[in-house]
Amino acid sequence: MELHQLFLDMAVLVEAQGQQLNDIESHVAHDSSFVMRGTEQLDVAKGYQKTQGNGAALPLFLASFSSLLSYFRFYQPYLRTHRVMDGPYGKGLS
């Protein structure tokens, strides 16, 4: 008798959770279309990246390098010659 009741309880639980399983299945199918579209977009982006090469990185590097160069060329000698008040970072730096 207990085994029969166990199977009846299991059937009730399966029926109750059947809708949730169907919802999960539909969400997985829906998300799979997003993954496929994202993969296609990544392939397109890879093609754009190959055609551009390092064209965007070079101007950024040159701008950074010229900023550092101008700092060491013009601002450092100014600090040494004008002795700005002593600050927390040492003599001449405030």
Give the number of other CB atoms < 10 A from CB of residue 65: 10
| Phi and psi, residue 44, nearest 5° | -65, -40
Question: What letter does residue 87 receive in the DSSP assignment?
Answer: B
Structure tokens belonging to residue 15: 């029926």
Q: How big is the chain by its Cα radius of gyration, in Å?
A: 34
Global pTM? 0.39
pLDDT in tens, 63-91: 888 887 777 777 666 666 655 555 555 55
Query: Can you give the pLDDT at residue 54?
Result: 58
Helices (H), the chain: 2-52, 57-70, 76-82
Which residues on adjacent β-strands are paired with residue 87? 90
